[in-house]
Structure 1
């Protein structure tokens, strides 16, 4: 039971996984309810006898009929189906259209009759003249014979009993001889008779079959005649048979299918006539209905409605717009069964518009399954389901073209031959263009070199003012440059850039040797050098452009040979690539354009069987032997056999060049001799060999082995590559990568002839990026063995291991660019600091290999990087570090140190930090640096730095200059470090007086310096600043050395002087100087006037009394009065000091001032005297009244007449009454 269950389950699973679909109409259509309803209504309608199911081929008309008959069993018993169709021959007419198999009308009608009469059992139409073979059952015949036997027995028993009894006795007698009883004997006889009858029945069936023909026999009188001789149709001749058929049978509905394919409208006329006859015959019970499944356009509009009583339009189940949905539905059903086909929805939607018929679609899917299982699965090939489906679609839509394809001919084969033809033609065109461009490049290069030489000649001629032909340029007695050397293409003109004053040896136009000293060499050189560099720049741009075009063309050739037909069509267009015959097949063009049918089509339609060489292989062998060149990409199939049939010497010919052959040689270990012969030929440095290598290397899977063999056999390989002006930089990189990746370093060193490889690597900044795909250790080994020194290198996407090796082992030039790369590598956030504080940034980075490299090459680093214009923000500490290291390493480099100090925007906080640790051996150099720091004010302004400098170098002119310049700021700083010694030296120094005065408060000292050691101006300042204590001894010392400073000494020490003024001699000049000084206190002035004024009065002192406000004695007043020269001044003195005067004093004064005060001096009588009404005169009047000089006064307004102007006015006066004094 278990075994049975397993078998049943296995069959169920196989059924579930079955993807095949039959092409027969289905009997359960979807969305067909309305069709069935309309058809049923029409069939039931009494008046409707001709019904049309009208729709295009593949619309599902037959499926509607099947579904209808399935759902209506009663109708099915009364229905007949007749199908007639013709098909296309595998031939075309003279217009190229496919020919159809044509049928005569009689053949059609005969075919219909056969389908009618072969439908029913011959027993149902026994009177029919049609005969057909039918199966005879021998058992039935045997049954009939047994029945007859028994009937005869019974008749004999009834009507001939004697005879019956006699037969029974004879049977029993015969049995008795064998010892059998009567009953047994009768039974055996009966069984024997039945057996004999069975043998007779079997014999009858065999004999009858031998005399039957396997076809329908028509009566003699109804034999079909040729249409040329018979006037009646088959229907007319056999009308009685047809009528009899419908009269005897129950069939009342006939479905005609595919009659429209016959394209013979007359058959429809005959059928309609037949329908009318049948329906009009009274002997036939019921209505005869003909249902036609035809296409819509079989009749015109009026004919359709007249011919058919009812027309049912059938909408196609599938067309070009929805066939994709059916495809996808079938794929989904397969997926549900666990079968997945790698066919995308995009592919289905792309190809489905070409499939418009349901049967074709189903057959495509069926054949796809068969092909896939047979070719892909059975052979275990990795084939594309989409490509296979595309080929099956093409097979179903163009079966004849597909059959030709399997025979390696036809339109598909032509398409791929067109591809090879187009590639050959296009590559030939591009090669011709490459040849033209290469020739132009070489000519352009030669022309440019010639023009550079002309510019050099012009430069040399200009240097000697065109007085002759130079032959050498002398730098000095030993060094000189020959003109022949300068004129070489490889000479670097920058070697002349450092020359200044040179001598040029030349031949005059008279052929005499002469020498000319050129002082403006650089002026002339730079002018022509710029022209040469500009010209070379333009040349390089032009060369690069042409190289780019050549490389693009080579790249196109490389790529084109490997392009698929799809890509060729996309790039160049269908009409350019394919021949007209191929273009006419729209489906094929579509499949090729989309790539659904490609170069591997043969794998999808045939079994692969390995036999001998192909026809193409033999053509190649013959071409080699005849030294005829074929395309490099000529297709070979049995490469091993081809190589066996070629002799070693033939591998020395250019005609041997073939991509597939070389690929095979590289892949195999055998045939080493032939391989090396071919490699040696490829290394012969010819253009053709290089073209082959350059194209082949893009395609081969064995690049490593090829490059190894070439490097071994071709010593100048890299030289030829790098010097080939037609090879672009990118292509050179490609070959360099191959060499480094696959050739050992020893061989690479040998290939680096004339340093061409190392030079190429060094001069291209992106080289490490280009080599990033190579193993790090190989790159490192190359750098080491070639001794590469990078001047610029890009680090993005470069291996960290490689970069660390370069940076840590100093395989680079110490320049700004490389330093940036290192900082970028270690910490790119610090890059911004390199522009303005390079060394500081590097120290902060802390990358020891770089720091060490810099410190070992300080001079180069400082001159080349630190002293650049923008690098001015270095930290003080790092600048000091650089200065110390440079002085320590090379004390003669003081000049660079000074440049560094001047260049950096620094301020040293402690001047001792700048090389202060050095001993006295470095004093000279350190002083130069310190002086520069002071001069450029790049040291913090504080007394500690001044003291530090003074401690080491005492007071120098540079220090004094620094102090003078910053005296104002220093005066504001507190001095806690400078003591007496510095102060004494400072006071006696030649410092500017202004600075000296400002800075004195900062000096801490008790003045005991001899006055004669100090400049007069400084003594004056010291006096003003009270640095010299006042005493009689100092006064006398100053009076002896600088006597004119004595007044200042007194004035700035007034209190001390006032205490001892009696001990110090006074003089008119001294007193005058003291009193006239603004520094003198008014109280001290009053004392000095009252003490020394009477004895040492001067005119200036007297006049000065008018300006100061001090109290003086009457004696001083009187003395001063005598020194005043004018009445006006005396009047001012009297008015100022009127408060100390009495009546007698006024009288003396008025007597001298009679012009100002008329009548006031006369006291002999009481009288009135007038004076102007002013504030001073009011004060005077009050004093006069107070001392009894006048008795009273009044203020009055009086008429006034100006005799000059002749006008009058009013004036204010004080009218005083002078008191009379008796004498």
Structure 2
């Protein structure tokens, strides 16, 4: 501890001596007084003799310190080398008077440029003055300060670009540490979120502290630049507004339907009032010269031939403007975009030349070195210092909510409180730029309400667009709180509101949104709207109102599918809604609703045909519908449609039969897509018997007797010969069980189905022997019994059919008719 104290005393005394000497050097002191308790002395000496006067006391202090090394730091800040001469003299005297073997060593920590003030050889003076010079490798230089800055601010999310810029201007570690300390103070006190902007300003403050005070007060170079930037923007805007005015005026004055009309108009303005329109046109291709006023920049009269005048750019531009409305609006829109671009210009867009021009009028530019001027421009052109720089480092004493709002806006925050209550909104609004309204953070209920009440349409449209573009839910939440503003906002947005249903929280706004189509017809929005209605248990309350409105059909479908209510077909609902009722089985099942649907959908033009929805509805409610269904065309469609189930068809044709509707002929067989429906007709006895029906039954391995009554079947089979069809064997066998003339004829016609199976033929004919002796004779022929071939067989259809069969199967070689009375057979 003593060693430390002694070293401190020596250092302090040395520093005191030098400062005293330097201080006194500014005054001409010839007399001063020292007083120690009761002892006092008056000293009258020249200033340069003071050090010599007290050299002994100084040596005494050094010798009693019991030290031998004195380290001197930062002496070069005084920018004079006289101090080194005195200290060297002191060093020599200490060593001369030292009683110790150790010699006093003075170590100086200085910059090389301290000897710049020496007029003579600087290098030689430097090496002669010191016994030993040891170079020190700098800890921080402009080449490595990037890494030091990065390390110190690694937790602050500073932009690498900003670190790169500032590293070119920071070459002192102490300066860097102070920047870090001040940054921390400002950051914690002001709760700044945009660390880049804060770091840029704090660094500039430390590098050029004299400029920062003026910058902080909106003065100096920055103040001048800010004023000039606004002035330049206003001039640009005024010029464009003037161009727009001239364009509109020119368009209004020069409207013409043709080139000739415009030419006539130009001639009239040039003083040729005595000429009619036709006169002007007739001179168009002459070589005559006219005095025409056509200079865009002046009203000077120029002599020009008409045909030459028509080729000038002036006339061609006017012609395009006068006769082409699209050209006019294209120019007008282009100027409008230019005007908007000026409002959107930021400091960051400034060019080097513009920066120099705008700041040259500032007195502070003269005080600022070129390096400082360049640093400021670099920070501005890279966006690290912008129009809102005063808000970054100055504490705000107004409404804290206003400050929070502005900081969120400047820092482009995406997590803000829409309901932040703002005050003095008129003044706050005056500080906002046009481009601010494209930022998410601009969305605030108080601000939006203010613009709505003051009818600032263009700003409102921009805020509405920002809300919808960012899908923030701002508009939806605002309307939930201010439902009476819905109509006004919708009108301002030109009926193009695109609200997100998921952000809506009240039934009132939901219904207004639905009824006015103020939301995109997306699957997610429809699901969200349906979920809201169902979860708030208002489906039955709002469904009919929505269904009868022009709300999106996609939403109507979702709501219908969730409803438990059933409706009657009514003109209160559009056809698309009726279809949805049928699709989701929300229609009461009866023939009246069935017929209304058919009429509404024109399903009976030109002939009735089931569509999918009606078929689906019919399959579910056929019991109720078929009770009153009498239109045969609908029943015809039922048979022809693959959409109607067999069960629905069967039950419906039961009613058809009860209504006494006519049977179907065999043509229906080829028109139906399903054999099962034909079978329904057969089973119900609704199919007229003919050759095609017999063939259909036979092809489907069915028995005629299953579908037709025995007496009817016998009568029909006898009445008509079915030469192309075969009666199934089951039917033949059953018919032969009731032997009579008719059944004998039917059996005879179908013997060929048994082939050459003699035993089966004999068995079949035995059933008829009691009634017909001819049957017994045929059996004898088949059995080849004695005298069988001398038999006489009756001349009738049955025997003819049997004999033909026997000949075809080679049971007999031939047969013949004798006297038209009987047949004889040859073996």
Q: TM-score range by the shorter chain?
A: 0.5 to 0.7
- Describe the SS at the equivalent of 2:785: helix
Offset at residue 556 of structure 1 (A): 12
Cα 1:362–1:283, aligned 2, differ >3 Å: closer, same or farther?
Answer: closer
Q: 2 CA distance for matches of 1:787 and 1:584?
A: 71
- In 1, Cα distance between equivalents of 2:805 and 2:635: 60
Q: Secondary structure at the match of 1:923?
A: coil
Give, in angstroms, the shift of residue 913 of structure 1.
Answer: 3.5
SS at match of 2:655: coil
1:873-912 aligned at under 5 Å gives the runs: 891-892=630-631, 894-895=632-633, 898-899=636-637, 901-904=639-642, 908=646, 912=650
The match for 1:788 is: 549
Q: Does residue 1:967 correspond to 2:732, yes or no?
A: no
State how far apart, in whole Å, the 2-side matches of 1:983 and 1:363 are.
119
The residue number in structure 2 matching 1:257 is: 73
CA contact (8 A) 1:259 1:294 kept: yes
State yes or no: 1:1065 paired with 2:792. Answer: yes
2:332 paired with 1:599? no
Partner of 2:714: 984
Q: What corresponds to 1:691 in structure 2?
A: 458
Partner of 2:314: none
User: Could you tell me how far apart the structure 1 residues matched to 2:381 and 2:710 are?
Assistant: 108
Q: Matches of 2:689 and 2:651 in 1, distance apart? A: 20
User: 1:359 pairs with 170, 174, 177, which one?
Assistant: 174
1:983, distance to aligned residue in structure 2 (A): 4.0
Q: Tell me the distance in 2 between the aligned counterparts of 1:865 and 1:397.
A: 92
Are the equivalent residues in 1 in contact too, given 2:74–2:110 (CA < 8 A)?
A: yes
Match of 1:344 among 130, 138, 156: 156
Q: How many Å separate the matches in 2 of 1:880 and 1:272?
A: 118
Asked whether the equivalents of residues 368 and 388 of structure 1 are also in contact (C-alpha less than 8 Å), the reply is: yes
1:112-133 CA-to-partner distances (Å, cap 9, x unmatched) read 845999xxxxxxxxxxx99876
Matches within 5 A, 1:777-1176: 784=545, 787-790=548-551, 792-793=553-554, 804=562, 813-815=574-576, 819=580, 847-849=584-586, 858-859=597-598, 891-892=630-631, 894-895=632-633, 898-899=636-637, 901-904=639-642, 908=646, 912-918=650-656, 920-921=658-659, 923-924=661-662, 927=663, 932=668, 935-936=671-672, 938-940=674-676, 945=680, 947-950=682-685, 952=686, 955-957=688-690, 960-970=691-701, 980-981=710-711, 983-988=713-718, 990=720, 992-998=722-728, 1001=731, 1004-1005=734-735, 1006-1011=737-742, 1018=749, 1026=761, 1029=766, 1054-1055=781-782, 1058=785, 1061=788, 1064-1065=791-792, 1077=807, 1079-1080=809-810
Please say if residues 192 and 392 of structure 2, whose CA atoms lie closer than 8 Å, have aligned partners that are also in contact. Answer: no
Deviation at 1:938, TM superposition (A): 1.5
Shift of 1:997: 4.0
* Maintained 8 Å contact 1:708/1:743: yes
User: Gaps spanning 5+ residues in structure 2: where?
Assistant: 116-121, 250-256, 258-325, 360-371, 400-421, 430-441, 468-473, 816-823
Do the aligned partners of residues 805 and 357 (structure 1) sit closer, same or farther apart at CA in structure 2, a change above 3 Å counting?
farther
Counterpart CA distance in 2 for 1:317 and 1:397 is: 18
Answer yes or no: is the 8 Å Cα contact 2:780–2:788 preserved in 1. no
1:622 paired residue number: none
How do residues 52-451 of structure 1 correspond to structure 2 at under 5 angstroms? 111=19, 113=21, 136-137=36-37, 141=38, 219=45, 222-223=46-47, 240-241=52-53, 244=56, 248-250=60-62, 253-261=69-77, 267=82, 270=85, 274=89, 278=93, 287-295=103-111, 308-318=130-140, 320-324=145-149, 327=152, 344-346=156-158, 351=163, 353=167, 356-367=171-182, 376=190, 391-413=201-223
Aligned length: 642
Q: Given the two structures, how large is their TM-score scaled by the length of structure 2?
A: 0.55
8 Å CA contact 2:610, 2:638 repeated in 1? no
| Structure 1 residue 773: Cα displacement | 12
Aligned-partner Cα distance in 2 for 1:423–1:999: 107
- C-alpha displacement at 1:743, in angstroms? 8.0
1:293: Cα distance to partner? 0.9
1:794-849 alpha-carbon deviations (Å, 9 max, x no partner): 69xx9x77984799789975549985xx9xxxxxxxxxxxxxxxx8xx5xxxx542
Q: 1:773 to 1:759 in 2, by over 3 A?
A: closer
**Residues 1080 and 82 of structure 1: is their aligned pair in 2 closer, same or farther, counting only changes over 3 Å?**
same
Structure 1 residue 888: Cα displacement? 5.3
When residues 875 and 425 of structure 1 are mapped into structure 2, their CA distance, relative to the original with a 3 A threshold, is same
d(CA) in 2 for partners of 1:690, 1:921? 71
- Cα 1:366–1:279 shift into 2, 3 Å: same
Gaps of 5+ in 1: 1-68, 85-108, 118-128, 142-204, 224-233, 330-342, 440-446, 448-542, 611-635, 644-658, 668-674, 683-688, 723-728, 750-756, 823-838, 1039-1048, 1089-1097, 1105-1223
Distance 1:735 1:816 in 2: 24
**Aligned partners of 2:638 and 2:657: how far apart in 1?**
22
Q: Given that residues 592 and 598 in structure 1 are in contact (C-alpha distance below 8 angstroms), is that contact kept between their aligned partners in structure 2?
A: no
Pair 933,883 (structure 1): closer, same or farther in 2 beyond 3 Å: farther
CA–CA separation in structure 1 for the residues paired with 2:585 and 2:354 = 65
Q: Do the aligned partners of 1:898 and 1:929 also contact (CA within 8 Å) in 2? A: no
**C-alpha distance in structure 2 between counterparts of 1:1075 and 1:772, whole Å:** 81
TM-score w.r.t. the length of structure 1 is 0.40
Counterpart CA distance in 2 for 1:745 and 1:80 is 81
Counterpart secondary structure, 2:106: strand
Task: Give the 3 Å change call, closer, same or farther, for CA 308–806 of structure 1 in structure 2.
Answer: farther
Does the CA-based 8 Å contact 1:395-1:402 persist in structure 2? Answer: yes
| Residue aligned with 2:653, SS | coil
**Alignment check: 8 A CA contact 2:695 2:725 kept:** yes
- In structure 2, what is the Cα distance between the partners aligned to 1:808 and 1:311? 105
* Offset of residue 967 of structure 1: 2.0
Tell me: higher relative CO, structure 1 or 2? Use CA pairs within 8 A at least 6 residues apart: 1
Asked if the contact 2:70–2:107 (Cα under 8 Å) also holds between the matched residues in 1, the reply is yes
What is the CA–CA distance in structure 1 between the aligned matches of 2:181 and 2:714, rounded to whole Å? 122
